[in-house]
């Protein structure tokens, strides 16, 4: 008889492989981004990267309390040791759809008046809100240095090129060490900067267009695309952690390096 946890893990691996394969295809947005990068001075790209990094430092490290005002932790956490995965899936999709719609409207609205850079902290807050909700629905916290590093690696994994060594496997590695109680060697500030660079490149077209009134409304389209990419990867990565946790519970307690169960 097939182990249900193993079957679901294989399904997640297939989903992730499909996402990677789709990212290797040259879509219209990727082609436009390459053209835009060719005409934008490197100094402006660095300004965008620094804007994301500054927003991360504020929103990610200090803005959690404000983001938490937008959801109820207790209602989002799963009930019971083995929650209904089908019901969990429906709730996650519903929450992600609502957050993506808000990010699209917000990006389009600010683009309409030609505000590109001011959109960054707002969009980042919504991106993190969606990720926090996915974490809570799977029974995980988003607080603490280890969890913050994991979230950063998930965001980067969703946006870097499929062939990049800083891809999805690194997020899995961080998750496994984190859940086993092993030490994380990643530096949070450096990981934050790397993720800022990935976000800046992914949103380069949107931020460039948003700087022009009226036509900047198209920036909401880029917000939508990035939000969906991150949401898809976050669900896969947290679902993997969730299933591994179930597997360890079935196998017995795990002893960390500190001797704690």
Phi, psi for 235 (deg, rounded to 5): -60, -45
Q: Is residue 22 part of a domain?
A: yes
Instruction: List, for residues 25-61, the tens digit of each pLDDT value.
Output: 655 556 656 666 666 677 777 887 888 888 888 887 7
Name the least confident of 121-130, 144-153, 252-261.
252-261
Q: Considering only CA atoms, which of 241, 165, 235 is closest in space to residue 198? A: 165
Contacts of 233 (CB under 8 A, 6+ apart): 16, 19, 154, 157, 158, 168, 171
Contacts of 98 (CB under 8 A, 6+ apart): none
CA pair distance 47, 87, nearest whole angstrom:
43
pLDDT at 203: 75
Q: Considering only CA atoms, which of 172, 135, 134, 137 is closest in space to residue 153? A: 172
CA pair distance 15, 234, nearest whole angstrom:
12
Name the least confident of 20-24, 93-97, 200-204.
93-97
Provide the number of structural domains found in the chain.
Answer: 1
Q: Is residue 25 part of a domain?
A: yes
Q: Is residue 143 part of a domain?
A: yes
Residues recorded for the chain: 261
Q: Is residue 70 part of a domain?
A: yes
pLDDT, mean over the chain? 74
**For residue 170, pLDDT beyond 80:** yes
pLDDT at 62: 76
CA pair distance 172, 111, nearest whole angstrom:
36
Confidence of residue 258 (pLDDT cuts 50, 70, 90): very low
Phi, psi for 255 (deg, rounded to 5): -95, 125
Q: Is residue 127 part of a domain?
A: yes
Instruction: List, for residues 52-110, the tens digit of each pLDDT value.
Output: 888 888 887 777 788 888 888 888 887 765 656 666 666 666 666 565 655 554 544 44
Q: Domain range holding 141?
A: 4-248
Q: Is residue 254 part of a domain?
A: no
Name the least confident of 42-46, 124-128, 155-159, 202-206.
202-206
Q: Is residue 171 part of a domain?
A: yes
DSSP 218-232: GHHHHHHHHHHHHHH
pLDDT at 193: 92
Scan for tokens 């496997």, then name that residue: 169
Task: State the average pLDDT over residues 190-205.
Answer: 84
Q: Is residue 147 part of a domain?
A: yes
DSSP 30-90: HHHHHHHHHHS-HHHHHHHHHHHHHHIIIIIHH-HHHHGGGS-HHHHS--SSS--HHHHHH
Q: What is the pTM of this model?
A: 0.78
pLDDT at 214: 41
Confidence of residue 150 (pLDDT cuts 50, 70, 90): very high
């Amino acid at each position: 008889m097939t182990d249900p946890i193993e079957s679901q893990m294989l399904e997640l691996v297939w989903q992730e492989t499909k996402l990677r394969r789709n990212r290797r295809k040259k879509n219209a947005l990727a082609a436009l981004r390459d053209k835009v990068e060719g005409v934008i001075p490197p100094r402006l790209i660095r300004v965008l990267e620094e804007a994301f990094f500054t927003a991360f430092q504020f929103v990610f490290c200090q803005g959690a309390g404000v983001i938490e005002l937008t959801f109820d932790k207790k209602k989002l956490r799963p009930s019971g040791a083995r929650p209904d995965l089908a019901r969990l899936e429906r709730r996650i999709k519903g929450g992600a759809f609502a957050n993506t719609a808000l990010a699209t409207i917000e990006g389009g609205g600010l683009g309409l008046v030609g505000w590109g850079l001011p959109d960054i902290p707002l969009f980042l807050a919504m991106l993190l809100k969606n990720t926090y909700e996915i974490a809570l629905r799977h029974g995980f916290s988003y607080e603490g240095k280890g969890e913050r590093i994991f979230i950063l690696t998930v965001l980067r994994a969703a946006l870097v090129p499929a062939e990049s060594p800083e891809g999805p496997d690194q997020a899995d590695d961080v998750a496994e060490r984190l859940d086993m109680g092993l030490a994380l060697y990643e530096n949070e500030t450096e990981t934050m900067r790397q993720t800022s660079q990935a976000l800046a490149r992914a949103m380069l077209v949107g931020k460039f267009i948003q700087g022009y009134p009226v036509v900047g409304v198209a920036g909401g389209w880029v917000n939508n695309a990035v939000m969906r990419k991150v949401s898809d990867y976050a669900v896969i990565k947290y679902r993997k952690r969730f299933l591994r946790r179930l597997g360890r519970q079935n196998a017995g307690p795990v002893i960390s390096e500190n001797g704690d169960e």
